[in-house]
Structure 1
Amino acid sequence: MTGRPTLNQRRRDTTRLEIARTAAALFAERGADATTAEEIALAAGISLRTFYRYFSVKEDAVAPLLAAGGRQWVDRLADGSADLPLREALESAAAASLTPADEAGAEMMQWTRSLLRDPRLEGTWQRVHAESEVRLRAVLAERCPADTDPLEIRLAAAAATAAIRVALEQWASSDAPATGPGSPRDLGARCMRELTEGLRLWKRVA
């Protein structure tokens, strides 16, 4: 057992992502309220039954895309930042995940802006960040001494996740570009510093 996803799991993940991209494009163009699950399924080339096998409601169809940035951020923190103090590692990983790496990333960022402006998707957005917080909590716990107060870890995970959420929401409500002043990266770094500065955890974990 290697822990690697099976072929069937990879296929399911690919299908979920394709549905999510289709839903995001339609929601960005028309809004979630004016888009039906049937239209998403048709545009994705699947049956309505298949759509509901993956998502219980149409709004959740974009969750894989909204969650991708948070997952990338937590993965970066877990895999590549052991040589940095924890607070710096959080900021570095967040900045990297909030910076579009290519045209596809820039397009995804613009989709994210449209999705975050849609009130019908607020519940999905909040659930995505709650799940990201749980994943971050586990990564922080791995870096902390065994006797660290679990409440400190939970507060740190909540603050760091909130920093990303607030930065993206602030950017989405503006007309700022995806890079440079006012960008998600710019706002994310500022929010991370503001929300995590006074936490005791940074004094315990170098």
Structure 2
Amino acid sequence: MSCRAWCVVGVYAAPVSTRPETTLAQRKRQLVSDELTEAALQLLALKGFDGVTIDEIATTAGVSKRTFFRYFASKEDVVVRFLADMGTDIHAELAARPAAEPPSVALRHAVSVPLATCGDHGERALRVVRLILRTPALLARFLERQAQWRDDLAAELARRLDLDPATDLYPRLAAAMALNAFDTVLQRWTDSDGADDPAELTGRAFAVIAPALDAPGPAAVEGAPVGG
């Protein structure tokens, strides 16, 4: 499972990836992309979205403005790409969970991937998350990306549980509940200025929604009588 994006947010460590072997040219392109992402997220988190220019990002990364535009269309695109990587990591973790694992446990582990990195890397991660949640344009893109995450998680849940995503309500409802828990934890963590532990918050959040995710079972969602 790739955690490249969140490693960049954390302590700007070396990228971690389990992707297939790449060519030297591909590795060099990935390195430049990671350096630009690192520079952009550092500057945006410290100075605010409107306080940073693309020239500053390029200079901090040690490349030209022209090189920046080979990788990203805008400052916003850096964050959008980062959010796409986050969603990929959540989906990959869900797909890797044991098939017999209860949905609440599998989903908790899936959304815990980026949340655990937040807790591990404190202030730098906090600044990036705060930037996204408190910048209207970035928050809108975050919510837009989450719609794709929900669809991807719902498809994976349907596969795991042998349900038809076109007719069964459970996969989308379960995916939405898990992402609502994810959002609640992120918001509480930022509101506490990082004082609260994301892992502990995640456990509490999933303790609330686990009964709905696991009992009386996904199959019972379809055809359940209104009013009990």
Shorter chain as normaliser: what TM range? 0.7 to 0.9
Name the structure 2 match of 1:39. Answer: 56
Cα separation, partners in 2 of 1:52 and 1:192, compared to 1, 3 Å? farther
Please tell me the root mean square deviation across aligned C-alpha atoms, in Å. 3.1
Mean CA deviation greater in 48-57 or 154-163? 48-57
Mean CA deviation greater in 152-161 or 120-129? 120-129
Report the TM-score, using the length of structure 1 for normalisation: 0.76
Q: Distance in 2 between matches of 1:35 and 1:197?
A: 45
**Amino acid aligned to 2:106:** A
Name the structure 2 match of 1:99. Answer: 116
Indicate if the aligned counterparts of 2:182 and 2:202 stay in contact, CA closer than 8 A.
yes
Indicate if the aligned counterparts of 1:163 and 1:192 stay in contact, CA closer than 8 A.
yes
Q: Distance in 2 between matches of 1:165 and 1:153?
A: 18
Report the 3-state secondary structure (helix = DSSP H, G, I; strand = E; otherwise coil) of the residue aligned with 1:52: helix
Mean CA deviation greater in 30-39 or 83-92? 83-92
Residue 172 (str. 1) matches residue 183 (str. 2): no
Name the structure 2 match of 1:53. Answer: 70
Match of 2:134 among 108, 113, 118: 118
**Amino acid aligned to 1:175:** D
| Post-superposition offset of 1:4 | 4.0
Match of 1:145 among 162, 167, 176: 162
Indicate if the aligned counterparts of 1:21 and 1:65 stay in contact, CA closer than 8 A.
no
Q: Distance in 1 between matches of 2:68 and 2:216?
A: 44
Runs of 4+ in 1 over 6 A off after TM superposition: none
Name the structure 2 match of 1:187. Answer: 201
Q: Distance in 2 between matches of 1:118 and 1:146?
A: 37
| Post-superposition offset of 1:30 | 0.6
Residue 204 (str. 1) matches residue 222 (str. 2): no
Mean CA deviation greater in 11-20 or 30-39? 11-20
Cα separation, partners in 2 of 1:191 and 1:169, compared to 1, 3 Å? same
| Post-superposition offset of 1:121 | 2.3
The superposition leaves residues 70-108 of structure 1 with CA deviations (integer Å, 9 ceiling, x where unpaired) of: 4333222211332421212212333354223996x4465
Indicate if the aligned counterparts of 2:181 and 2:205 stay in contact, CA closer than 8 A.
yes
| Post-superposition offset of 1:195 | 4.5
Report the TM-score, using the length of structure 2 for normalisation: 0.70
Percent of aligned positions with the same letter in both sequences? Answer: 32
Name the structure 2 match of 1:135. Answer: 152
Cα separation, partners in 2 of 1:15 and 1:111, compared to 1, 3 Å? farther
Indicate if the aligned counterparts of 1:159 and 1:196 stay in contact, CA closer than 8 A.
no
Name the structure 1 match of 2:125. Answer: 109
Indicate if the aligned counterparts of 1:19 and 1:44 stay in contact, CA closer than 8 A.
yes
Q: Distance in 1 between matches of 2:209 and 2:200?
A: 15
Q: Distance in 2 between matches of 1:115 and 1:155?
A: 28
The superposition leaves residues 137-167 of structure 1 with CA deviations (integer Å, 9 ceiling, x where unpaired) of: 2321220224463432122212212221221
Indicate if the aligned counterparts of 1:156 and 1:196 stay in contact, CA closer than 8 A.
no
Mean CA deviation greater in 9-18 or 152-161? 9-18
Instruction: Look at both structures and tell me which one has the larger radius of gyration over its CA atoms.
Output: 2
| Post-superposition offset of 1:124 | 3.0
